[in-house]
Amino acid sequence: MLNDPRSHGLWERTAPPAAPTRRLSEPVSADVVVVGAGYTGCSAALHLAEGGARVVVLEGAEIGFGGSGRNVGLVNAGLWTMPDDLPGVLGPVHGERLLDLLGNAPRLVFDLVAAHGIDCELETAGTLHCGVGESGARELAERARQWQARGAPVELLDAARTQAMVGSPAYDAALLDHRAGTIQPLAYVRGLARAAQDAGAAIFTASPVTAFRREGARWRVETPEGSVTADWIVVATNAYTSAPWPGIREEIVHLPYFNIATQPLSSNLARSILPGRQGAWDTKEVLSSFRFDRAGRLVVGSVGALRGSGTAIHRRWARRSLQRLFPQLGAIEFEAEWYGQIGMTADSVPRFHRLDANVVSFSGYNGRGIAPGTVFGRTLAQHILGQLSEDELPLPVTLPVPQRLRGLRETYYEVGAQIAHLSSRL
């Protein structure tokens, strides 16, 4: 996107084209203006339009330009935080509400894909969280115990079953989450955007919001060549926020994450790895992930940015790691590589902000935003349509709080990933 093959890589090459959009070049009026066309913004627009609201979406670049077009495509359930710990972080009411909402969030993604006929390589066979060493296996056993106590369909696999499902003896255990799945992420967000347009939302791209101000009882947001006057503003800019809501970016630390895709594997090789087509990731501190796309390319990812010295270091690590995990691959040819920035909050929990009267936002998904973004977009729509009061929201109402030493921590993540990948074999 924007002539950068490392921004969206494979996903841009294989996603169906986005529906036509244009730049906003006139003043328009709406009930709600949504800023940002990722999962959060497009889901909000779809559900608002279906609820009868007049909606305008303003996207600074293209549909899916942010995390939504670059990610791994693991449609996860729940959060990083252990289920039993969440009520301690958010209080019992919001903690239980958020666990319930995000535990079931993949279902909404699958239902929307079916309802709108979105062609996005959906696989609903679950995900495998793979345990490295005894401590990894212990963590997964505890996670399984806590989810099972809540009735969630998750299974703890021993080393032998993990080897059979992954196609590698590298792991001591795995958590198979039957609620989860994988998608082609850019195809999914383009499909959501098309569904929103079909429901009546107007989407403008290459239209960054540069300012907003009161106009009587309404809001007016400005783009370089146009403006929208509306009763509500949904700020869905998350980790890719540019002006005029810097607070959302300031409370997030950017964690870079890259993906590298092999050429399509022969059918024999492809059958020997992840034969059930689950998406997988591991319990390492500098975690890595792997999954197939529909054409049989293996996509491997980990923490790091493909720029400067990082490009060669991470590429070499990806080759070594795949060869160690799956020696049957032999010589590996890569076909695409890309990276993006994950938005991390201080406590790994997302945020709901009321930035001003009728200016609302969800952000900070900590690398798990496909299902949460989709669900939070619907939550925003329900709130604005008067179907969900502020007391019924899944998160407390807050204002952004900047994270301290943000720049330093972002440099630490980028350089630390290079150091880890210089020596790591797995």
Interface residue list for ligand FAD (CB under 6 A): 35-41, 58-61, 65-68, 70-74, 76, 208-209, 236-243, 257, 340-342, 365, 367-370, 373
Of 74 and 170, the one with the shorter C-beta distance to ligand FAD is 74
Of 167 and 373, the one with the shorter C-beta distance to ligand FAD is 373
Of 167 and 185, the one with the shorter C-beta distance to ligand FAD is 185
Q: Hunting for tokens 């890309």 — which residue is that?
A: 338
Shortest gap between Cβ of 209 and ligand FAD (angstroms)? 4
CA atoms within 13 A on the CB side of 263: 6
Contact present, 122 and 136 (Cβ < 8 Å): no
Contacts of 143-148 with C-beta under 8 Å, sequence gap 24+, read: 143/82, 143/83, 143/175, 144/175, 146/82, 146/83, 146/84, 147/78, 147/83, 147/103, 147/177
Of 173 and 342, the one with the shorter C-beta distance to ligand FAD is 342
Of 22 and 271, the one with the shorter C-beta distance to ligand FAD is 22
Of 130 and 342, the one with the shorter C-beta distance to ligand FAD is 342
Q: How far is Cα 323 from Cα 266, in angstroms, rounded to an integer?
A: 16
Shortest gap between Cβ of 256 and ligand FAD (angstroms)? 8
- Identify the H or E element spanning 257: strand 253-262
Of 89 and 206, the one with the shorter C-beta distance to ligand FAD is 206
Shortest gap between Cβ of 221 and ligand FAD (angstroms)? 9
CA atoms within 13 A on the CB side of 247: 15
Two tokens, residue 423:
């020596």
Of 69 and 83, the one with the shorter C-beta distance to ligand FAD is 69
Shortest gap between Cβ of 158 and ligand FAD (angstroms)? 25
Rg of the chain in Å (alpha carbons): 21
* C-alpha distance from residue 229 to each of 217, 236, 272 (Å): 10, 17, 56
Q: Under DSSP, is residue 303 helix (H, G, I), strand (E, B) or coil?
A: strand
Shortest gap between Cβ of 10 and ligand FAD (angstroms)? 12
Comparing every residue's Cβ against ligand FAD, the nearest one is: 369
Shortest gap between Cβ of 340 and ligand FAD (angstroms)? 3
Cis peptide before 224 (omega within 30 of 0): no
User: Quick one: DSSP state of residue 22?
Assistant: B
Shortest gap between Cβ of 48 and ligand FAD (angstroms)? 15
Contact present, 344 and 253 (Cβ < 8 Å): yes
Shortest gap between Cβ of 83 and ligand FAD (angstroms)? 17
Contact present, 124 and 181 (Cβ < 8 Å): yes
